[in-house]
Structure 1
Amino acid sequence: MTEQLKKVFGIDLGTTYSCISYVDENNKAVIVSNAEGERITPSVVYFEEGGNNIIVGEAAKEISKMYPEEVVSFVKRSMGDENFVFFHEDTEYRPEEISARILRKLVNDAQENLGETIEDVVITCPAYFGINEREATKRAGEIAGLNVIQIINEPTAAAIAYGFTDNPDDQEEKTILVYDLGGGTFDITMIKVSSEKIEVVVTGGDHNLGGKDWDDTIINYLVEQYHEQTGKDDDILLDPETFQELQLAAEKAKKTLTQRTKTGIAFTHGTDRVKVELTKEKFEELTAHLTERTVSLTNLMLDEAKKKGVEGFDEIILVGGSTRMPQISEAITKEFSKLPVTFDPDEAVSKGAALFGHQSIIKDEIIKIYNSMATENEEGPTFSLGSDTSTADKEMLGEAANEVATKFNFSLGGVKSALNKTIINVSSKSFGIVAYNEDDEQVVFNIIYKNDQVPTEVTETFTTREDNQENVEITIKENEVSEQQLAIEDATEIGMALLDMPPGLPRGSELDVTFKLNEEGRLEVTAVESTESRQVSTTVETKSVISGEELEAAKERSKAVKVS
């Protein structure tokens, strides 16, 4: 009897919309519809009175017209922000816990739809997310009761989905730009795709640029029209109900203008009823600066790619729902003289995450069987993920792959493809420590640089500043700068470690500082004093991410609430 391989679900936890998928028996990524029969779910959360009933999705979006102060949207933009707190009936909710409600909605509906329990997931995040945001995303999954196998970058996930559908047997390597404009975030990433690997070259973007900004521009225009038509100058956006009505009207108008040349918008504030006609031409004029910003960021990313020896690209693929706006494709075509390919805008990221998880599980099964065979044959050390495959016994790996294919009724070619396909990512940030430069000024010295391949491990040597120095404070900073040194104010503190020093050391005694960054963006820092080999190690976990008692309380609340 054929066994069933454990499913890993891919989740695109989006700013405005989210979705969930898995890989079926035909090795195809499939989106799971929600309880309303829709393939994507609005990332909007409504807290009912009492706090034990949570409504997520389209219903919450509609309810926001009546109870805007009880609804949270666009929470993804606040992931990792220790200053963001939503209050509901004397309870504080951090972004991680609110995001966990969205995850619960996706998972609950998928479980009901498929008739099975969901535990293992791969969740995506924007490529430029730093340690704070990535850790917050993982904690959201934990609060939702999920086993988060990995956090992967959205453009990488899209490239995986693209690589599985665009001539998967084609051996020729192509360099593609993944232009990912979602509801609240923008990523632009250069990726090399072939049948054997998906390699990220460079990535860039802006976590505060997305379809919401196009909506906000429409809202500002509607406010201007209100002032002109009524002759009043009051700030109508201070009224929560009016603001919510304008938000929904702006999003609807934006979507309408992707298909039509004009649309009518009507809204009420107090006793005033305002009607506005918005043309496609006017909309594009109002938002031209936003479109140009994405092009500018793309050019900056291309400049970084040239520094790594990559001078051009073959294709541009568009993902993210906001790329449906015609001006996006037009601007890219004009700037780069290439017609972009619209690729599954709303679903590619989730599908790519599912494919990534599926491949990971297949690899684990192959390695498990290989290790069992190696132990039986007394072949020495076992093989594991991350090992150099060239040193492994290829014949035994082939046998293990064949056994996995038979065991789960997969094609042997598909199983071998999962084993051989390599995904190479890069760091989205630079990481360094605070030290004194040659002018005796405190600066940040970068050790790992933005767009360095990950995983990576780098050691740099520093020296003590004083005779008989008792300890060294290692302040760890994250930044966007690709230079060796930068001002302290241009970086964000993400951690600190204190190393006690042996007594009697002279000024200039050496200290080796090692930064180790893994594929998920988790950073481990080790500092070793060379005289007595005293050592301090820390895994950077930012204070801005929910933890400790607060995390446990969030988990308990999550178990107690009903999400629909």
Structure 2
Amino acid sequence: MSQGEGQGLKRVYGIDLGTTYSAIAYVDEHGKAVVVPNQESERITPSVVLFDGDSVIVGNTAKESAKVEPHRVVSRVKQHMGDPNFVFEYEGKSYGPEDISSFILRKVTGDAALALPGEDVADVVITCPAYFGTPEREATANAGRLAGLNVRAILNEPTAAAIAYGLEQGEDQTVLVYDLGGGTFDITMIEIKDRLIRVICTGGDHRLGGTLWDEAIVMYLAEQFREQTGEESDPLDDPEVLNDLFLQAERGKKTLTQREKAPFRVTHAGKQARVELDRPKFEEITRHLLDRTIELTREMLADARAKGHASFDKIILVGGATRMPQVHARLVAEFEKEPESYDPDEAVAKGAALYGLKESLHDEVSSILAAGRDGEAGGAGAADSGPIDLSDVPEEEVAKALDHLEKQLGFTLTGPVRELVGTRIVNVLSKSLGVVARDDQSREVVVYLLPRNSEVPLERMTDFGTDAANQAAVDIRVMSGERDSTEPADCQEVGTATLNLPEQLPARSPIRVKFAINQDGRLNVSAVDLTAGGSIDVEFQTEAVLNSDEVEERSTALRLLTVS
């Protein structure tokens, strides 16, 4: 089922833009999601960027260079997405998280284009942690645009994994997706039924991941070095030694997955120490991290119970860090269920590719249906009708449209691919969204319009009043909160929208604020002055990320750099 442009069906690629590794996938002619190897013949690419004059090198070479040239290397940039204060300086130029991520995206899509001659690798679905809020999602989308890509959707990583898993299993079940990657942790309850993948609840921490296990090893090695050598200076203060220890820690962590012990060597200040770390000690020094994943899982399960979902059938392990034996053993002990490891490194990219195919097929089928209806009505054609919501269309009509599409394309759409077209995917908000207002004591509080774990798309409105007479404008400060605290200090400020007011409005004049969030988690904020009728309606631009003009400007500048 080739999806080349000339055949009318646009191929949409799925990209797992990971903290430590990234991958890209597409759906082949048999309806099977396939990961595309990079130019180094590896299926995953380290998300590490090395600056070298007018060139940018992404992947293993950059990762190894971190040891000797840390001032030219950026790693784990995903943890800074949506952070306006993160800047990497190189040769007098500043690069934000979106810029760095765009280089990683250019590497994986460029390698895919070389591996698949004649393919236009431009339309993509990019994944992000379920726990990402609005600024992080906007930054991820902007990274794709800076890379010259058409970003069709930003998809939650656990949802992507559930799509890949659900299509393969084909049975009704409720699963916990325990997703522990290199830098992030998501725990999500997902209901998988015939033609429905519904996220019930999600939780997590986008700074909790496998690299913290590496960090615990590094701290232990430094401590052992000082004990063995008596050296007073800290090896962690030497950037080259620090980077070497992190590389050793990652390799050692993988060794401890297979064996009971792993050897290390620490060299600093002309002294050397040999350290042996066994699995029980490794589990002891990282127990607090695993404890935190269990705590977050229990919080999410409590939220799910509040929504009427008291049980689940399976635990699905996604993300490379779930290979650690301690994860499996702890989940069995806590929940008395045997976790299932499901394609830890590739499930997310594959699920994103399947979602991309679903989007592409949806466009084609709705166009065929619209054209058919216009033809029956003697209308002007599908172009005037717009896309059709396939959930409102009888299955027989969709099947006929797919038959028609098969004839156009000249090949057979497999059963799972046909099922994908009609599968409804329902996501939830990972964080509550609201505005800052004043209570009866004139204290600033956050009033939530969209509660976390609500299904999206969703829109709600609330009426507020102006603070004072003759107020010139209202600043609508948009906030996101994790555990529904009403204290602004406990929330993240997403940004501010300003509504200008007419003169001579009395105090407490009503202002109606509406929040609308789409399937991708992108926020639209509108406000209306109910007295005089003035209004604003914006696709919300957060302060933390680039606006569309800045993206265009940055994209032109970044394209001058060669990425390999």
* TM-score > 0.5, shorter chain as reference: yes
Q: Following the alignment from structure 2 to structure 1, what is the Cα–Cα distance between the partners of residues 263 and 474?
A: 64
Q: CA deviation at 1:473?
A: 2.2
Moved more, 2-11 or 234-243: 2-11
Amino acid at match of 1:538: V
Partner of 1:231: 230
Q: CA deviation at 1:470?
A: 3.8
Q: Following the alignment from structure 2 to structure 1, what is the Cα–Cα distance between the partners of residues 369 and 549?
A: 42
1:231-284 alpha-carbon deviations (Å, 9 max, x no partner): 122122121110111010111110000000001101211311111001011101
Local SS of the residue matching 2:305: helix
Instruction: Return the match for 1:67 from 57, 62, 69.
Output: 69
Q: Following the alignment from structure 2 to structure 1, what is the Cα–Cα distance between the partners of residues 464 and 388?
A: 30
Local SS of the residue matching 2:551: helix
Q: Following the alignment from structure 1 to structure 2, what is the Cα–Cα distance between the partners of residues 437 and 379?
A: 58
Amino acid at match of 2:556: E
Q: Following the alignment from structure 2 to structure 1, what is the Cα–Cα distance between the partners of residues 229 and 296?
A: 40
1:192-244 alpha-carbon deviations (Å, 9 max, x no partner): 01121100011000011000000000000011011101112212212111011
Match status 1:162 vs 2:165: yes
Local SS of the residue matching 1:356: helix
Change (3 A) 1:395 1:261: closer
Change (3 A) 1:4 1:551: closer
Q: CA deviation at 1:386?
A: 7.0
1:518-548 alpha-carbon deviations (Å, 9 max, x no partner): 1111111111122332212222212221346
Change (3 A) 1:386 1:268: farther
Q: Following the alignment from structure 1 to structure 2, what is the Cα–Cα distance between the partners of residues 393 and 174?
A: 25
Partner of 2:145: 142
Q: Following the alignment from structure 1 to structure 2, what is the Cα–Cα distance between the partners of residues 472 and 544?
A: 21
Amino acid at match of 2:340: V
Q: Following the alignment from structure 1 to structure 2, what is the Cα–Cα distance between the partners of residues 542 and 176?
A: 34
Partner of 2:516: 516
Match status 1:361 vs 2:347: no
Change (3 A) 1:366 1:247: same
Q: CA deviation at 1:438?
A: 2.4
Change (3 A) 1:422 1:212: same
Q: CA deviation at 1:330?
A: 0.5
Local SS of the residue matching 1:253: helix
Amino acid at match of 2:401: A
Instruction: Work out whether residues 362 and 419 of structure 1, in 8 Å CA contact, stay in contact via their aligned partners in 2.
Output: yes
Instruction: Work out whether residues 390 and 422 of structure 2, in 8 Å CA contact, stay in contact via their aligned partners in 1.
Output: no
Match status 1:372 vs 2:374: no
Instruction: Work out whether residues 184 and 207 of structure 1, in 8 Å CA contact, stay in contact via their aligned partners in 2.
Output: yes
Local SS of the residue matching 1:27: coil
The 5 Å alignment of 1:473-488 reads 473-482=475-484, 486-488=486-488
Partner of 1:402: 403
1:12-48 alpha-carbon deviations (Å, 9 max, x no partner): 0000111000000100000000111111111111111
Instruction: Return the match for 1:426 from 414, 423, 428.
Output: 428
Change (3 A) 1:322 1:405: same
Q: Following the alignment from structure 1 to structure 2, what is the Cα–Cα distance between the partners of residues 269 and 389?
A: 64
Partner of 1:121: 124
User: What runs of 5+ residues in structure 1 fail to find an aligned partner?
Assistant: none
Local SS of the residue matching 2:274: strand
Amino acid at match of 1:533: G
Partner of 1:538: 538
Partner of 1:436: 438
Instruction: Return the match for 1:39 from 43, 57, 62.
Output: 43
Q: Following the alignment from structure 2 to structure 1, what is the Cα–Cα distance between the partners of residues 390 and 474?
A: 37
Instruction: Work out whether residues 494 and 540 of structure 1, in 8 Å CA contact, stay in contact via their aligned partners in 2.
Output: no
The 5 Å alignment of 1:320-359 reads 320-359=319-358
Partner of 2:173: 174
Instruction: Work out whether residues 45 and 98 of structure 1, in 8 Å CA contact, stay in contact via their aligned partners in 2.
Output: yes
Q: CA deviation at 1:355?
A: 0.1
Instruction: Work out whether residues 497 and 537 of structure 1, in 8 Å CA contact, stay in contact via their aligned partners in 2.
Output: no
1:285-329 alpha-carbon deviations (Å, 9 max, x no partner): 111111111011000000111111111111000000000000001
Partner of 1:529: 529
Amino acid at match of 2:132: F
Instruction: Work out whether residues 468 and 506 of structure 1, in 8 Å CA contact, stay in contact via their aligned partners in 2.
Output: yes
Instruction: Work out whether residues 225 and 276 of structure 1, in 8 Å CA contact, stay in contact via their aligned partners in 2.
Output: yes
Q: Following the alignment from structure 2 to structure 1, what is the Cα–Cα distance between the partners of residues 333 and 396?
A: 51
Q: Following the alignment from structure 1 to structure 2, what is the Cα–Cα distance between the partners of residues 273 and 46?
A: 29
Q: Following the alignment from structure 1 to structure 2, what is the Cα–Cα distance between the partners of residues 155 and 97?
A: 25
Change (3 A) 1:424 1:393: closer
Change (3 A) 1:467 1:563: closer
Q: CA deviation at 1:191?
A: 0.5
Partner of 2:26: 22
Match status 1:6 vs 2:10: yes
**RMSD after superposition:** 2.0
Q: Following the alignment from structure 1 to structure 2, what is the Cα–Cα distance between the partners of residues 253 and 386?
A: 53
The 5 Å alignment of 1:105-120 reads 105-115=107-117, 116-120=119-123
Figure out how many residues of one structure are paired with residues of the other and give that number. Answer: 555
Q: Following the alignment from structure 1 to structure 2, what is the Cα–Cα distance between the partners of residues 313 and 352?
A: 21
Instruction: Work out whether residues 98 and 140 of structure 2, in 8 Å CA contact, stay in contact via their aligned partners in 1.
Output: yes
Change (3 A) 1:478 1:180: same
Amino acid at match of 2:405: V
Partner of 2:196: 197
Amino acid at match of 2:218: I
Q: Following the alignment from structure 2 to structure 1, what is the Cα–Cα distance between the partners of residues 463 and 80?
A: 36
Local SS of the residue matching 1:300: helix
Partner of 1:54: 56
Change (3 A) 1:318 1:386: farther
Q: Following the alignment from structure 1 to structure 2, what is the Cα–Cα distance between the partners of residues 394 and 13?
A: 35
Partner of 1:259: 258
Q: CA deviation at 1:11?
A: 0.4
1:391-441 alpha-carbon deviations (Å, 9 max, x no partner): x46654443222113323233744542331000000111111111112221
Q: CA deviation at 1:145?
A: 1.1
Q: Following the alignment from structure 2 to structure 1, what is the Cα–Cα distance between the partners of residues 528 and 83?
A: 32
Partner of 1:490: 490
Change (3 A) 1:135 1:277: same
Q: Following the alignment from structure 1 to structure 2, what is the Cα–Cα distance between the partners of residues 474 and 86?
A: 31
Instruction: Work out whether residues 75 and 95 of structure 1, in 8 Å CA contact, stay in contact via their aligned partners in 2.
Output: yes
Local SS of the residue matching 2:112: helix
Q: CA deviation at 1:461?
A: 1.5
Q: Following the alignment from structure 2 to structure 1, what is the Cα–Cα distance between the partners of residues 258 and 233?
A: 34
Q: Following the alignment from structure 1 to structure 2, what is the Cα–Cα distance between the partners of residues 420 and 129?
A: 27
Instruction: Work out whether residues 366 and 387 of structure 2, in 8 Å CA contact, stay in contact via their aligned partners in 1.
Output: yes
Amino acid at match of 2:457: P
Local SS of the residue matching 2:372: helix
Amino acid at match of 1:492: Q
1:157-198 alpha-carbon deviations (Å, 9 max, x no partner): 0000001111x2x3xx31100000000000000100112110
Partner of 1:563: 563
Moved more, 328-337 or 88-97: 88-97
Q: Following the alignment from structure 2 to structure 1, what is the Cα–Cα distance between the partners of residues 86 and 546?
A: 11
Q: CA deviation at 1:70?
A: 1.2
Amino acid at match of 1:134: R
Q: Following the alignment from structure 2 to structure 1, what is the Cα–Cα distance between the partners of residues 500 and 277?
A: 66
User: What runs of 5+ residues in structure 2 fail to find an aligned partner?
Assistant: none
Match status 1:289 vs 2:291: no
Instruction: Return the match for 1:151 from 151, 154, 165.
Output: 154
Q: CA deviation at 1:132?
A: 1.1
Q: Following the alignment from structure 1 to structure 2, what is the Cα–Cα distance between the partners of residues 548 and 376?
A: 38
Change (3 A) 1:534 1:386: farther
